Chains A and B, each alone.
Chain A
């Protein structure tokens, strides 16, 4: 018998849940949801990305409710999402036409549209700024508003992908557009070998730490050679739906911030003269995750003996809810199974 239900502990559990408020009550200062959304946006982005749900207000509430625990916030968003119907599918998002806030290439210094550093911590000194503790929010906001007002408006110009040019030159294989309906891992169980759409959806909502570690392992020698970031772009992509009363028309429902990456490797095997690309796309400004996704996309495409190249290993162990849930279950009572293990050890010890 593997599992036996136990009863009791209800009052202790209720008190334990009440005690969580003690840990949230350490100061009279409130953590305003508007402030979390606007000042901890990278944290909010990560919650939305790992939950697979772009919903800023809900992600903020979830973070506040669980003292900033990433895994609990993801759990709360996934649980909330499971209470809703899904009435809509967007039209295909045009990321090539997105309003860019950052765009760089490690492969070419001159790219059409230029390299836009945007807002990045890449070039900052990693020294704690003690003035932040005394910062006046209103003064900061006023300063930025004045800077914005002083700008001469610049037209938005979409930039072509770096890979598009390499495809024209035949250095990267081009493919005809496929409109095959994607696999949806939130509806259908992931099966192996997984289709490309299932792989990309799974990686995009995976735990950032898990896929970053796996991509790192591939770069350190447990995978293919060092890839080059052909293009990393962040920006706002518009979401549109078919107008429900006339599907020939579209309605705009809002925009999402996403990070998109294409990595280039030398193509292996029969195509030594070409390059191969890996792709990553994630909610929010999550560059490391997007790069890691692109690295793993290429590793899984190539296949091989290493963990980062093993589809089942990569795609079944990186979901925040599943991995944290399974590890957490070890905390629950295992009295009977452990007693049985103990009995077996005692018997072996007492055997002549």
Chain B
């Protein structure tokens, strides 16, 4: 994607935008609109996405259920962009579509902002993870003299 780091693919970009506060996404879209006039191709609207899973017993696919998503599509200088986002936030979805179109057109200049947002998001997630890892159990065998320990080593993986 033009103007982005080599390892910034669309999945990573949309993950950052989806996790971001809507005001941050709006600010990025507003920056684009200062110099470009996006045309809304598809107004934000709700639809469903069916969630496909793979179960580990027979390695087959099944549907666990659906989720509500909002979708929107815009065009900048004849180049399309679109966004699909869980939940029902039409403004944020439209702003994400504008950013997507700007990326496709090669006129997006907010790469550094995306990285800064991602840094903050990852830090929060990693701090939450630290809280959860504090609940990791350290088992100690109560019966070191028996064969149980040997048996236990066999099943340790």
* Residues of A in contact with B (beta carbons under 8 Å apart): 48-49, 51-58, 81, 84-93, 95-96, 99-102, 108-112, 114-119, 147-149, 151-156, 161, 163-165, 174-182, 184, 186, 196-197, 200-201, 204-205, 238-241, 243-245, 249-256, 258, 262, 277-279, 281-283, 297
Contact = CB atoms under 8 A, between A and B. Distances in A.
Interface stretch (B25-33, B107-115, B132-140): B132-140
Residue among B11, B18, B49, B64 with the most chain A CB within 10 A?
A: B64
Given A93-B54, A151-B131, 10 more contacts: A54-B51, A55-B67, A84-B48, A85-B47, A88-B48, A96-B56, A239-B51, A245-B81, A249-B10, A277-B56
Interface string B62-83: 1111111101000000001111
A151 B53 contact: no
Contacts of A52: 65-66
B61 interface: yes
Contacts of A118: 132, 135
A151 B64 CA distance: 34
Per DSSP, are chain B's interface residues mostly helix, strand or loop, or mixed?
A: mixed
Contacts of A277: 56-57
Contacts of B63: 182, 184, 186, 197, 201
A109 B139 contact: yes
Interface string B1-23: 00000000111101100100000
B34 interface: no
Given A86-B47, A148-B131, A53 B65 contact: yes
A279 B80 contact: no
Contacts of A238: 15
Contact of B52 (A49, A92, A205, A258): A92
Per DSSP, are chain A's interface residues mostly helix, strand or loop, or mixed?
A: mixed
29 contacts: A53-B66, A54-B51, A54-B68, A57-B87, A86-B66, A87-B71, A88-B47, A90-B52, A101-B132, A109-B139, A110-B155, A115-B136, A116-B136, A147-B131, A148-B124, A151-B127, A152-B130, A184-B63, A196-B58, A200-B64, A201-B65, A204-B64, A238-B15, A243-B10, A245-B104, A254-B87, A256-B51, A262-B56, A283-B64
Contacts of B88: 57-58
Identify the 9 closest CB pairs spanning chains A and B, nearest first: A254-B86, A153-B126, A88-B49, A151-B130, A197-B62, A252-B15, A52-B65, A86-B48, A117-B135
A49 B64 CA distance: 9
Contacts of A179: 61
Contacts of B82: 244-245
Contacts of A177: 54, 59
Contacts of A99: 125, 129
B58 A178 contact: yes
A165 B124 CA distance: 32
A239 B49 CA distance: 10
Residue among B83, B124, B135 with the most chain A CB within 10 A?
A: B135
Given A53-B67, A177-B59, A253-B18, A93 B52 contact: yes
B48 A87 contact: yes
